[in-house]
Amino acid sequence: MDRLRYRIAPLHPHAHRFEVRLAIEDPDPLGVQVWMPVWVPGSYLIREFARHVVCIEASAAGAALPIEKIDKHRWRCAPAPAGAIVEIRYEVYAWDLSVRAAHLDATHAYFNGSAVFLAVAGREHEPCAVEILPPPAQIGAQWRVATTLPRDGAVPWGFGAYRAADYDSLIDHPVECGRFDLVSFDVLGVEHHVAITGRHRGDLSRIAIDLARVCRQHIELFGAPPPFRQYLFLVTVVGEGYGGLEHRDSTSLLCSRDDLPRAGEETPGERYRGFLGLASHEYFHAWNVKRIRPEAFAPIDLSREAYTRQLWAFEGITSYYDDLALVRCGLLREAEYLEMLGETITRVRRGHGRLVQSVAESSFDAWVKFYRADENASNAIVSYYTKGSLVALALDLMLREATGGARSLDDLMRRLWREHGLEDLGVPEGRIEQLVSELAGTDLSAQVRALVHGTGDLPLDVLLAAVGVRLGLRPAFGEADKGGRPRLTGATTAPRAWFGARAGADGRLAVVHEDSPAQRAGLSAGDQLVAFDGLRAGGLEALLGSRPPGCVVEVHAFRRDELFRCEVTLEAAPADTAFLEIDDQAGDAARQARAAWLGRSEAERA
Ligand code: ZN
């Protein structure tokens, strides 16, 4: 029998509190120490889960045992009588409807182990038993349990006994209890399940068919069989929401009701493509980050920040493959994929932060910058997701070009899988960069260094030309223009003026761009626009629709409660909006290279 035994109960759904009991056999004779993670793997922000522990007590041999808090996330019990089992009972407040923590009410219970389970100091490597109890009968008589924690007596989808090989494993299998919908499918002999919580009218069979194609695509990239015996998508549907967190055998996804496909819907809309992209992303993580891990996460220290300059690879490469898999398995057409790629390039080009921070620096500082983005974020931070995915694209195209199509990023991922994933060996800093030159058979280190550690724009125009794709840049047609297309229907071709700021519907400036007319005039994020040229300010969009570049606008605005006046000289909108087009003049070699890259026969891609 396991010497560490957890029992978790959704005891007070209306108060959003789980009760957890932890029995510890053979406790440290000097007194047991327990601790709570301060962050959850996959989300690089100190979250201090211990702050939600609302009460805690300990006992041994039928008597209370003193327990005291010794720092923000640790407790120490007094020594227990010899031979006694120490039991710690505590309650955890769970009211965070995200994929990262825990949430409990009368409709369902969801938790990540890192938000609810105390670790026993020095015994993190021991296996443990976990009993998951149902809520009070009047609330949860029809509830079921969805988790990839190995069952140890519980019936499938039932409450009861589960177990985990160690603490890391205990907290890497999130648990959903409630009245979820369930759909299952098989991929190359491996069971996959989707459990959907929340009100929705999604077409379950459609979701299963499409996800099966995505999963198969990823498995075949790395080589069957996949590294798990089953896989579970835990989906929570809300009115408006978005998020995902990867786990070794499962993922938690948060999506909007309208992201799911309706029965009878013919072609997947943009929102459903977004949902498939998110699911694809988290599934790819089962290899890239859960098993191919940065050295800094092997082992992982959950009591403090774990610094790595490689999140661009673990998140960026994953972000590259999430949509690439959709086009390769036929869920996206080539033109749709290129449009999405154009949007990604646009997102990066519109942030001045790309000229200030490299993706390696963005990775390292994720804890204090990317995850704590403020009004200056776009000026100072580059996303290791978006730019990271473009670095991955650049590496892929560089490898293909250098080897005449014999090698690609797919080969690099398989090397990482064989040498690091299967061997459970962390990836050292610089290893991925080194592998690029190795696979290319030529020294690409200077080019790779520029991509990862540089702040210049990526040479995507040249690299894409080799696969017969032309990268164009133009000014935005308006606030709604996300890029990706050469032109928008109904958009005027007259030169557009640029103010250089973004305002909310209430006229308050959310962002003032670096080196922009608004910044030069002295406007700041938080300023409340009041009037343009003496008339009550409408939106910035209306202003720019009626003034040419070069026009001087008198602006009245409030900063805090103080009215001030300034003059903004509008400039011509910068060419920060990217779109990709197939170059019909490109030769056969480019066309074949493109077919190999997007992974499908030309007939299929039509
Ligand atoms: Zn990710």
CA–centroid distance, residue 385 to ligand 1 (Å): 8
Predicted confidence (pLDDT) at residue 124 exceeds the cutoff of 70: yes
CA–centroid distance, residue 478 to ligand 1 (Å): 30
Whether the link from the prior residue into 299 is cis, omega within 30° of 0, is yes
Helices 409-416, 386-402: crossing angle, 10 deg rounding: 110
Greatest alpha-carbon span in the chain = 85
Predicted confidence (pLDDT) at residue 254 exceeds the cutoff of 90: yes
pLDDT at position 602: 43
Half-sphere exposure of 376 (CA within 13 A, CB side): 6
User: Residues 35-92: pLDDT tens digits?
Assistant: 999 999 999 999 999 999 999 999 999 999 999 999 999 999 999 999 999 999 999 9
pLDDT at position 604: 45
pLDDT at position 563: 98
Q: Which residue from 248, 286, 293, 313 is spatially nearest to 423, judged by alpha carbons?
A: 293
Could you list the beta-strand ranges (E) of 61-127. Answer: 63-65, 67-71, 74-77, 86-93, 102-104, 108-111, 119-120
The residue type found at 316 is G
Q: Which residues contact 12 (CB under 8 A, 6 or more apart)?
A: 19, 91, 104
User: Residues 427-452: pLDDT tens digits?
Assistant: 999 999 999 999 999 999 999 999 99
The 10 Å CB-count burial string (b at 16+, else e) for 87-108 is bbbbbbbbebbbbbbbbbbeeb
CA–centroid distance, residue 285 to ligand 1 (Å): 7
Query: What is the pLDDT averaged over residues 249-254?
Result: 98
User: Residues 303-348: pLDDT tens digits?
Assistant: 999 999 999 999 999 999 999 999 999 999 999 999 999 999 999 9
Helical residues (DSSP H) of 403-512, grouped into ranges: 409-416, 431-440, 445-453, 460-465
What average pLDDT is seen over the chain? 96
CA–centroid distance, residue 335 to ligand 1 (Å): 25
Task: Report the alpha-carbon distance of residue 142 to residue 179 in Å, rounded.
Answer: 7
CA–centroid distance, residue 407 to ligand 1 (Å): 25
CA–centroid distance, residue 320 to ligand 1 (Å): 10
Contact call for residues 448 and 433 (beta carbons, < 8 A)? yes
Query: What is the pLDDT averaged over residues 581-604?
Result: 85
CA–centroid distance, residue 486 to ligand 1 (Å): 30
Task: Report the alpha-carbon distance of residue 483 to residue 475 in Å, rounded.
Answer: 9
Residue 85, classified by CB atoms within 10 Å of its CB into exposed (0-12), middle (13-18) or buried (19+), is middle
Contact call for residues 259 and 265 (beta carbons, < 8 A)? no
pLDDT at position 601: 44
| Structure token pair of residue 379 | 């000026």
User: Residues 155-166: pLDDT tens digits?
Assistant: 999 999 999 999
| Structure token pair of residue 46 | 């100190």
pLDDT at position 190: 98
Predicted confidence (pLDDT) at residue 494 exceeds the cutoff of 90: no
Label residue 600 by pLDDT band (50, 70, 90): low
Helices 318-328, 386-402: crossing angle, 10 deg rounding: 70
Q: Name residue, tokens 């005027």.
A: 492
| Structure token pair of residue 526 | 């938080």
CA 333 to chain centre: 24
CA–centroid distance, residue 457 to ligand 1 (Å): 23
Label residue 371 by pLDDT band (50, 70, 90): very high
- Residues near ion ligand 1 (CB < 5 Å) are 315
Task: Read off the pTM.
Answer: 0.96
Label residue 490 by pLDDT band (50, 70, 90): confident
